[in-house]
Amino acid sequence: MKRKISLALCGVLLAGILFGCGGTDSTKETADQPKETAKVSEGTIKIGYFGPLTGGTAQAGQAAQNGAQIAINKLNANGGVLGRQLEIISYDDKSSPEEAVKAATKLVQSDKVNAIFGSLHSANVQAAAPVIEESKTLCVAGGTSPTWLEQGYTYLFRSISNSTVSAKQLAQYADAQGYKKIAVFTSNDEYGTSGADGFKEACKDYDIEFVASETMTNGDRDFTGQFAKINAAAPDAVFIWCLGDDLGAVTKQLRQSGFDGPILGSESYTLPEILENAGTATDNVYFAAQYLVYENPEDAPEENMKEFLEAYIEEFGTAPMSDNAFRAYDGVMMIAAAMEISGADSGEELRDAYNNIDGYVGLAGMFSYKGGHGEGIDSMRIFQIQDGKYLEAK
Amino acid sequence: MFFQLLIGGLAVGCIYALIGLGYSLIYSASGLMSFVQGEIFMLGAYVAYTIYVGLHIPFLIAVLIAILIMFVFGMLLERGMISPLLRRGSKQIHIVLATIGLSIFLKNFAMIIWGSDVKNFPSALGEDPIRMGNVSISPQQIAIMAVTFICMVLLHFFMNKTKLGTSLRAAAQDPMAAGVVGINVSLTVGMAWALAAVLSAIAGILLAPIYGVYPKMGAILSTKGFAAAVLGGYGNMYGAIIGGLIFGVVETMAAGYIASSFKDIISFVVLILVLFIMPHGILKVKADD
């Protein structure tokens, strides 16, 4: 009898723990997300978002979420999509692949969203890809590493050029400027490694020699050893591919170590905090990008960018802190366009409609996904930083 | 290239030394291990940033105020968290866990209060490096080495020549005997934690112009500072300094001569090797034998 009672008690305890934990988990997540609506109503189209809302790249993640929100506001103001209003359901992937998988799983399995924008980090997209692909949910992401679109996933798309395009533009620019010896300095993660590989690959067409190849770990701040080696190799230019939160320190220290020559970098150089942290060290930096992060809508050359910036400033009080706001905006707008064209709000039909997008003009330029295996745009401009200002180079 | 690497290594090593000093100081005074020195380093940088950049108070005064605040923080930490835990019969491991918990709390606290973007801490000494032939030193690196040296000298003087410092050493060696002689043991333990906090905060203020100020800046330093203290002999102040400098130089030389990917690995490999050969670290802790 005693044994039966204790077994029963154990069973109750176990059930209580399982249900209790399950309950606390979801309520914790709901409490965490400022933008999540309290009640998910029937009939609304749910756009899922997962990205780094906390951690070193929180600025970018927050900007992306805001960009998506601006798109949703605009679509809702114009009557919604397929006659239905849209809402955003967002989770923080904490800049970590493990959290990205959890967030994506929640979005596709418990929230059952119609489509997703996320994440910004290629490592996180890569990690979440299997669960997204299996659930047949359309996902547009902002990470630039080519790798996650080379694995055969059919439900993933990108709303910006990948780093190979940047690499090609930069390689072309380097050759045009006559740089013969280039040193490479990258972060040792997926982003940095694929950036370096892409650039080296693109430079094969030109007469360029790689005189040094150094790496750093995200978060590290002492590069004395690496820069000593780079300076000893006397390069004509240095190619830097690191995450935004490291770039300020990297650029500043490279200049302080004695290198005054041109730096070829990524669109992460558009982050305003880098100009603040590195100051005059950013002179002579060149990078390929689709767009700049404008402080003032008047500075934007294109009408749709002006409109976006004005709406963003009105809603959030400041200009976007990162170009990821544009990636998210373009992504969500194209998802909506695909829904309108196909009449489908999710699944295979929506994905096929997205694949047929051809000639859509977004903030990044003209997108065409036909035959692109998820890539939609491959043209970029080269920008230069001089005296804290961005200019188009060439 | 060798001298460039040496100077860079010594500068970085000084920072490891300052943080390692904190660890050894706490261990020698209270026999406890603290894993929050990296976050105190980060907090010191943020406090100095808020006073210097936020309130526009002149640099030296801002630094002094920041150091004072961190001294009080260290004291409060010991009085408010460590002593109560000890009184309730906590073991070593509980204190370790408590400090780890505090470090996580401080990191997230900083993220909420100041945001997670990298804040710019302008150098009071200017940014232009001084070039001597092939070697360039930034004024900040000179400041790091000078300030660390001054701290070491002051600490040595304090510990050996002042009444408070001597009573701290006495309490560390034998708390009961020290209490019998009339030394306020709990005050001296509080002082040790407060001093360790000050050292970490000074390191933070020295590095802020180079690193920028951001919540995760203390994380890897926490580990390396601890390793530096172990390398030099855990609990021995001079050992922490030696350990820190060796760590910094080995790491930078490895990045320069072997490969940059080896940078983080090599230091810890050296640590493991030293512990195999000399488990007590380089300088033995006198009290333990």
Name the residue with higher pLDDT: A311 or A12: A311
Tell me: do A156 and A45 sit in the same domain.
Answer: yes
- Residue pLDDT, tens place only, A226-241: 898 899 899 999 999 9
Enumerate long-range contacts of A251-256, CB under 8 Å, 24 or more apart: A251/A278, A251/A281, A251/A282, A251/A285, A252/A277, A252/A278, A252/A279, A252/A281, A252/B127, A253/A223, A253/A227, A253/B210, A254/A185, A254/A223, A254/A227, A254/A230, A254/A281, A255/A280, A255/A281, A256/A281, A256/B127, A256/B129, A256/B136, A256/B138
Q: B209 pLDDT band (50/70/90 cuts)? A: confident
- Asked if A276 and A245 count as a contact pair (C-beta separation under 8 A), the reply is no
Dist CA A224 CA B142 (whole Å): 14
Tell me which chain A residue has its CA closest to the CA of residue B132. Answer: A258
Structure tokens of A392? 């188009």
Task: Report yes or no on whether pTM surpasses 0.90.
Answer: no
3-state secondary structure chain B: CHHHHHHHHHHHHHHHHHHHHHHHHHHHHHCCCCCCHHHHHHHHHHHHHHHHHHCCCCHHHHHHHHHHHHHHHHHHHHHHHHHHHHHCCCCHHHHHHHHHHHHHHHHHHHHHHHCCCCECCCCCCCCCCEEECCEEECHHHHHHHHHHHHHHHHHHHHHHHCHHHHHHHHHHHCHHHHHHHCCCHHHHHHHHHHHHHHHHHHHHHHHHHHHCECHHHHHHHHHHHHHHHHHHCCCCHHHHHHHHHHHHHHHHHHHHHHCHHHHHHHHHHHHHHHHHHCCCCCCCCCCCC
The mean pLDDT value for B230-251 works out to 87
Query: What kind and span of H or E run contains A209?
Result: strand A209-216
Q: Which of A258, A289, A320 is the last residue of a domain?
A: A289
Task: Report yes or no for ipTM above 0.90.
Answer: no
Structure tokens of B46? 């943020």
User: Is pLDDT of A182 > 90?
Assistant: yes
Window 263-282 of B: residues touching A by CB (8 A cutoff) are 263-264
- Residue pLDDT, tens place only, A310-344: 999 999 999 898 889 999 999 999 999 999 999 88
Distances (CA, A) of B92 to B56, B97, B169, B193: 42, 9, 20, 16
Interface test mutation site (partner A, options B263, B264, B266, max chain A beta carbons within 10 A): B263
Residue A130 lies in a domain: yes
Interface test mutation site (partner A, options B42, B132, B260, B265, max chain A beta carbons within 10 A): B260
User: Is pLDDT of B165 > 90?
Assistant: no
CATH number of domain containing A312: 3.40.50.2300
Dist CA A315 CA A63 (whole Å): 12
Query: What kind and span of H or E run contains A314?
Result: helix A303-316
Phi, psi dihedrals of residue A315, rounded to the nearest 5°: -80, -40
What's the pLDDT score for residue A112?
A: 92
Tell me which chain B residue has its CA closest to the CA of residue A246. Answer: B118
What's the pLDDT score for residue A91?
A: 94
Helix and strand counts by DSSP (H, E) for chain A? 12, 14
Q: Say yes or no: B109 contacts chain A, CB-CB below 8 A.
A: no
Tell me: do A187 and A281 sit in the same domain.
Answer: yes
What's the pLDDT score for residue A11?
A: 63
What's the pLDDT score for residue A24?
A: 40
- Contact between chains at A245 and B207 (C-beta distance less than 8 A): no
Which residues in A lie closer than 8 A to residue B12 (C-beta atoms)? 222, 224
For B210, the closest of A59, A221, A245 (CB atoms) is A221
Output the average pLDDT for chain B. 86
Q: Say yes or no: A218 contacts chain B, CB-CB below 8 A.
A: no
- Asked if A334 and A357 count as a contact pair (C-beta separation under 8 A), the reply is yes
Dist CA A58 CA A120 (whole Å): 10
For A249, the closest of B211, B252, B263 (CB atoms) is B211
For B260, the closest of A55, A225, A252 (CB atoms) is A225
- Contact between chains at A229 and B220 (C-beta distance less than 8 A): no
Window 184-223 of B: residues touching A by CB (8 A cutoff) are 207, 210-212, 214, 216-217, 219-220
Q: A220 pLDDT band (50/70/90 cuts)? A: confident
Q: A165 pLDDT band (50/70/90 cuts)? A: confident
What's the pLDDT score for residue B34?
A: 87
For A215, the closest of B8, B136, B260 (CB atoms) is B260
- Asked if A154 and A131 count as a contact pair (C-beta separation under 8 A), the reply is no
User: Is pLDDT of A35 > 50?
Assistant: no
Tell me: do A42 and A157 sit in the same domain.
Answer: yes
Nearest to B193 by CA among B7, B23, B4, B15: B23
Output the average pLDDT for chain A. 86
Q: B181 pLDDT band (50/70/90 cuts)? A: confident
Q: Which amino acid is at B151?
A: C
Dist CA B207 CA A380 (whole Å): 37
Query: What kind and span of H or E run contains A181?
Result: strand A181-187
Name the residue with higher pLDDT: A27 or A183: A183
- Contact between chains at A220 and B207 (C-beta distance less than 8 A): no
% of chain B at pLDDT higher than 90: 25
- Residue pLDDT, tens place only, A103-127: 999 999 999 999 999 899 988 999 9
Residue A16 lies in a domain: no
Nearest to B23 by CA among B106, B96, B80: B96
**DSSP codes joined into one string, A81-146:** BTTB-EEEEEEE-TT-HHHHHHHHHIIIIIS--SEEEE-SSHHHHHHHHHHHHHTT-EEEE----G
The mean pLDDT value for A350-378 works out to 89
Residue A224 lies in a domain: yes
What's the pLDDT score for residue A16?
A: 57
Nearest to B201 by CA among B109, B74, B102, B75: B74
SS3 of residue A247 by DSSP? helix
Interface test mutation site (partner B, options A54, A224, A257, max chain B beta carbons within 10 A): A224
Q: Is A186 exposed, middle or buried (0-12, 13-18, 19+ CB in 10 A)?
A: buried
Interface test mutation site (partner A, options B3, B112, B118, B127, max chain A beta carbons within 10 A): B118
Report the phi/psi class of residue B31: left, alpha or beta, with left for phi > 0 and alpha for psi in -120 to 50: left
Domain ranges, ordered by start, for chain B: 2-119+137-277
SS3 of residue A41 by DSSP? coil
What's the pLDDT score for residue B287?
A: 46
Instruction: Indicate the angle between helix axes A97-105 and A122-134, nearest 10 degrees.
Output: 30
Q: Which amino acid is at B191?
A: M
Tell me: do A129 and A64 sit in the same domain.
Answer: yes
Number of separate domains in chain A: 2
User: A307: Cβ–Cβ under 8 A, 6 or more apart, which residues?
Assistant: none
Q: Say yes or no: A56 contacts chain B, CB-CB below 8 A.
A: yes
SS3 of residue A153 by DSSP? coil
- Contact between chains at A225 and B251 (C-beta distance less than 8 A): yes
Domain span including residue A311 = 36-161+303-368
Q: Which of A289, A313, A332 is the last residue of a domain?
A: A289
- Residue pLDDT, tens place only, A37-70: 443 445 889 999 999 998 878 888 999 999 999 9
- Residue pLDDT, tens place only, A328-337: 999 999 999 9
- Contact between chains at A58 and B115 (C-beta distance less than 8 A): yes
- Residue pLDDT, tens place only, A17-29: 655 444 444 434 4
Tell me which chain B residue has its CA closest to the CA of residue A227. Answer: B256
Q: Is the peptide bond before A119 cis (omega within 30 degrees of 0)?
A: yes
Residue A332 lies in a domain: yes
- Contact between chains at B127 and A258 (C-beta distance less than 8 A): no
Tell me: do A279 and A310 sit in the same domain.
Answer: no
Q: Which of A234, A267, A289 is the last residue of a domain?
A: A289
Tell me which chain B residue has its CA closest to the CA of residue A253. Answer: B210
For A224, the closest of B116, B217, B252 (CB atoms) is B252
Residue A175 lies in a domain: yes
- Which range is least confidently modeled, A212-226, B96-110, B239-253, B270-284? B270-284
What's the pLDDT score for residue A28?
A: 40
Tell me: do A185 and A129 sit in the same domain.
Answer: no
User: Is pLDDT of B68 > 80?
Assistant: yes
For A276, the closest of B120, B254, B257 (CB atoms) is B120
Tell me: do A170 and A285 sit in the same domain.
Answer: yes
Tell me: do A171 and A105 sit in the same domain.
Answer: no
Tell me which chain A residue has its CA closest to the CA of residue B136. Answer: A257
What's the pLDDT score for residue A102?
A: 95
